[in-house]
């Protein structure tokens, strides 16, 4: 197979539908997501049943991952109280994204399993629907936390600062103009929230999709030279992207809660 043929077989941006359950389409990225959830759930189940005071290799690896994620979150929050709260959100998010990014690399034959000529398993984070859903869910959760801490009206006035204009003009023309500026800045914060969703989702999707596409092209053109090097690079990139997504979510959370304090 030459380089042109390999490039022609690069993955599509849209996921492929494998079957339908009623009117619900089951895509290859969804099947891979179910597989990842099953693997993570199985690891958690069997590990929790055999916890020991003197851990074995498997338990030691899980404890290292646990401690590393907790320390990373603590560096972002700087507060044990928030670290404990965020851990139960960021740790599962990081683990799911890391598995999504890396499983296809660690088990390369998964992509060769086909049904009616279509690959049954597709890396979930190469499906923009998945990355957009994750990003949107995290931003909406942070908005809900801000509403819970501030109150609905106070949260609303954070973006539509009519009160700043009124208070400003009561003090004078100069203060009134600054109130208008603050009002415009509040509206721009709405754009910022949408930009966070796009930024989180496109960064994760773009890096993983591009990495898999380049891997197919490079491994096809230099099958005997670069496979191990490129796989190592993809493993590194997949882990880093999971970390970046989790860290940014934690940072956005802290921005929301610290602002209310």
Residue 9 covered by a domain: no
Q: One digit per residue, pLDDT tens: the chain, 261 residues?
A: 433 343 444 557 778 888 888 888 888 889 999 999 999 988 888 887 777 777 777 788 888 888 888 988 888 888 888 888 888 888 889 999 988 888 877 776 777 788 888 888 888 888 888 899 999 999 898 889 888 888 887 778 778 877 777 777 677 777 677 777 777 877 788 888 888 888 888 888 887 877 777 666 666 555 555 556 666 677 777 888 888 888 888 888 888 776 555
Residue 203 covered by a domain: yes
Residue 175 covered by a domain: yes
Q: 76 lies in which domain range?
A: 16-260
Residue 93 covered by a domain: yes
Ramachandran sector of residue 127 (left: φ over 0; alpha: ψ -120 to 50; beta: rest): beta
Q: What does pTM read for this prediction?
A: 0.78
Residue 196 covered by a domain: yes
Residue 238 covered by a domain: yes
How many structural domains are present in the chain?
Answer: 1
Residue 190 covered by a domain: yes
- Kindly state the tokens that stand for 69: 């994620």
User: How would you write the chain as a 3-class SS string?
Assistant: CCHHHHHHCCCCCCCCEEEEECCEEEEHHHHHHHHHHHHHHHHHHHHHHCCCCCCCHHHHHHHHHHHHHHHHHHHHHCCHHHHHHHHHHHHHHHHHHHHHHHHHHHCHHHHHCEECCEECCCCHHHCHHHHHHHHHHHHHHHHHHHHHHHCHHHHHHHHCCHHHHHHHHHHCHHHHHHHHHHHHHHHHHHHHHHHHHHHHHHHHHHHHHHHHHHHHHHHHHCCCCCHHHHHHHHHHHHHHHHHHHHHHHHHHHHHHHHHHC
Residue 7 covered by a domain: no
């Amino acid at each position: 197979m030459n380089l042109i043929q390999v490039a022609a077989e690069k993955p599509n941006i849209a996921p492929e539908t494998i079957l339908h359950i009623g009117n619900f389409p089951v895509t290859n990225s969804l099947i891979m997501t179910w597989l990842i959830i099953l693997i993570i759930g199985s690891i958690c189940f069997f590990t929790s049943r055999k916890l020991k005071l003197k851990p074995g290799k498997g338990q030691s690896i899980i404890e290292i991952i646990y401690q590393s994620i907790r320390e990373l979150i603590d560096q972002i929050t700087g507060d044990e109280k928030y670290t404990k709260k965020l851990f139960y959100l960021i740790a599962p998010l990081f683990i799911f994204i890391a598995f999504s990014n890396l499983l296809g690399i660690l088990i390369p034959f998964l992509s060769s399993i086909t049904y009616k000529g279509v690959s049954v398993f597709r890396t979930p984070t190469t499906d923009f629907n998945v990355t957009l859903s994750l990003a949107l869910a995290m931003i909406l959760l942070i908005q809900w936390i801000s509403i819970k801490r501030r109150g609905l009206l106070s949260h609303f006035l954070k973006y539509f600062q009519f009160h700043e204009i009124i208070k400003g003009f009561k003090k004078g023309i100069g203060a009134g103009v600054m109130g208008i500026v603050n009002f415009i800045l509040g509206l721009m914060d709405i754009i910022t929230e949408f930009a966070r969703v796009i930024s989180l989702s496109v960064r994760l999707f773009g890096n993983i999709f591009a990495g898999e596409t380049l891997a197919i092209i490079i491994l096809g053109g230099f099958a005997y030279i670069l496979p191990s090097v490129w796989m190592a690079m993809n493993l590194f990139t997949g882990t880093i992207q999971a970390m970046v997504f989790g860290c940014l979510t934690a940072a956005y959370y802290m921005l929301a809660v610290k602002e209310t304090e």
